[in-house]
Amino acid sequence: MKKIVTVLLLTIAILTFAFSRPALAGDAIIGSKIFSANCAACHLGGNNVIIANKNLKKEALEKYGMNSLEAIINQVKKGKNAMPAFSGRLSDNQIEDVATYVLQQAEKGW
């Protein structure tokens, strides 16, 4: 009986971790407000008014290797090409919130 309970609990634990999505680190609700105030001028609706094909849609994020929290955080902090760096303007927590929001919106299709 003890062996059956152990196997059952182990199976539940494995299935729980194997099929659950990892939680995003930031707060997407706060991130949406920060995005509206700092990013929407160029990225409204997940678009990009400067370089149209480098938008924030899921396909483009995947194509350009920007489909992880770490990659987006790095891009927002350091900037690149026409995108300015926000490390001096936004705190690390705010940048993490924006990155979380961007990934969440990309998953939803903006």
Annotation: binding site for heme c: 39, 42-43, 83
The residues, any chain, with a CB within 8 Å of residue 5's CB and separated by 6 or more, are none
Which residues contribute to the annotated binding site?
39, 42-43, 83
Q: How far is 69 from 9, CA to CA, in rounded Å?
A: 32
